[in-house]
Amino acid sequence: MKQLQLFLVAILTTMIVMDSQAQQDPQYTQYMYNTVAINPAYAGNRGVTSIVGLHRSQWVGLDGAPRTQSLSVHSPVGDGKVGLGLSIVNDALGPGQETYFGADFSYTVNTSNRGRLSFGLKAGGHILDVDLTKLNIEDQSDTRFSQNIDNKFSPVIGAGIYYHADKFYAGISVPNLVETEHFDRSTTDNSASSFVEQERIHYYGIIGYAFDLTDQLKFKPSALFKAVVGTPLQVDATANFLLLEKLHMGIAYRWDAAWSGLVGFQVSDSMLIGLTYDRESTDLGNTVYNDGSFEIFLRFELFNEYDRMLTPRFF
Q: What is the CATH number of domain 2-309?
A: 2.40.160.40
State yes or no: pLDDT of 123 exceeds 90. yes
Query: Quick one: pLDDT at residue 262?
Result: 93
| Statement: residue 219 has pLDDT above 90 | yes
Q: Are 262 and 294 in contact (CB under 8 A)?
A: no
Please give the Cα distance from 263 to 253 (Å, whole number). Answer: 15
Query: Model confidence over 254-295: pLDDT tens digits?
Result: 988 889 999 999 998 889 999 999 887 776 656 656 678 899
CB burial of 119-135 (b: ≥16 within 10 Å; e: otherwise) equals: ebbbebebbbebebeee
Q: pTM of the prediction?
A: 0.81
Phi, psi of 9 (to 5 degrees): -60, -40
Average pLDDT (167-189) is 73
Question: CB count, 10 Å around CB of 75?
Answer: 20
CA neighbor of 84 nearest in space, from 74, 94, 93, 92: 74
Residue 269 sits at φ, ψ, to 5 deg, of -55, -30
Structural domain spans, the chain = 2-309
pLDDT of residue 309: 37
Most confident by average pLDDT, 206-220, 268-282, 296-310: 206-220
| 100 touches 91 (CB < 8 A) | yes
> In this structure, how many other beta carbons lie within 10 angstroms of the beta carbon of residue 240?
24
61 vs 56 pLDDT, higher one: 56
Higher pLDDT, 172 or 138: 172
